[in-house]
Amino acid sequence: MEYFLQQLINGVTLGAIFGLIAIGYTMVYGILGMVNFAHGDVFMIGGFVAVITFLILGVLGLTWVPFALLCMLLIAMVFTGVHGWAVERIGYRALRNSNRLAPLISAIGMSIFLQNYVQLLQGARNKAIPPMISGGVELMTSPTGFTVKFGYMQMVIIAVTTVLMVGFSLLIARTSMGRQQRACEQDMRMARLLGVDVDRTISLTFIMGAALAAVAGMIWLLYYGIIDFYVGFLAGIKAFTAAVLGGIGSLPGAMLGGLLIGLIEVFWSAYFSVEYKDVAAFAILVLVLIFRPTGLLGQPDIEKV
């Protein structure tokens, strides 16, 4: 029981990170109907910018942890926001009205470019930082001496993810920006006729998704203490899987899918062979899509006539 509870905590924590990345995928797909495969690499850039900021603050002697974390987060969000805007402006805007294949190829090209661009600038070696948030609460101890621990970093990850999930849901449901996004999602041409600046709305959506990716990248860095130029591809594929599993286009679905992927990976690694954890996650995805093609919380597309 104690081992199961520990793995549950670990799975929810990992799933929260995947959910944060998945929200970026689902926001872009909800408006454009296109998948931004470069989003995982924007997440990776957020982690690298956080590392660089940490090193610069260390050189300057600014080592107070709350201040350092705030600076790392804000600077990472600014840089990833710029990258998100550039991806939309270069890779998507000119292809918005073309067939679906052209933007897909463009997105994959942007992903490869960002990977190699970071590798050239930062090198192929892993970048690491020392633990900044350590310790935790011991929940229970088994008779064999196994202790269930809920780390402070895990608490921060779950809390931040919950706040951002609620915040973005309220933003889309109750603000002018959210109404413009929903209008573009329903009918982009009609939204333009009604005075919505479609280009600006789409750019802001990419920037918001990239800022979320920066939060996820920094959380990944603080949780694992290490990042490399290839992590964006792996985490991005799993987050995209989470978005599809939960119902791409649905923010709660993205978070639910992220939690499920995290739990599947952790429990499979704990009780079965760790080499097949990805196989298990994708097998569950296939089974869900066979019986519910739109995902767990997705809604079927309504064709406009």
pLDDT tens, residue by residue, 54-78? 999 989 988 888 899 999 999 999 9
Between 303 and 96, residue with greater pLDDT: 96
Mean pLDDT score, 9-38: 87
Q: Is the pLDDT of residue 286 over 90?
A: no
35: helix, coil or strand? coil
Q: Which residues contact 238 (CB under 8 A, 6 or more apart)?
A: 18, 261, 265, 278, 281
Contact 19, 238 (CB under 8 A): no
Mean pLDDT score, 37-61: 92
Taking only the tens place, the pLDDT of each residue in 191-219 is 898 888 998 999 999 999 999 999 999 99
Q: What topology does CATH give the domain 2-291?
A: ABC transporter involved in vitamin B12 uptake, BtuC (1.10.3470)
The pLDDT of residue 155: 93
The residue count of the chain comes to 305
Alpha-carbon distance of 99 to 113, in angstroms, equals 22
Q: Rounded to a whole number, what is the distance in angstroms from the first to the last CA of the chain? A: 55
105: helix, coil or strand? helix
Alpha-carbon distance of 51 to 57, in angstroms, equals 10
**Environment class of 37 (CB within 10 Å of its CB; exposed 0-12, middle 13-18, buried 19+):** buried
Average pLDDT, the chain: 87
Taking only the tens place, the pLDDT of each residue in 135-146 is 889 888 878 778
Task: Report residue 181's pLDDT band, with 50, 70 and 90 as the boundaries.
Answer: confident
Q: Is the pLDDT of residue 302 over 70?
A: no
Alpha-carbon distance of 115 to 37, in angstroms, equals 12
pTM for this one? Answer: 0.90
Domain boundaries, the chain: 2-291
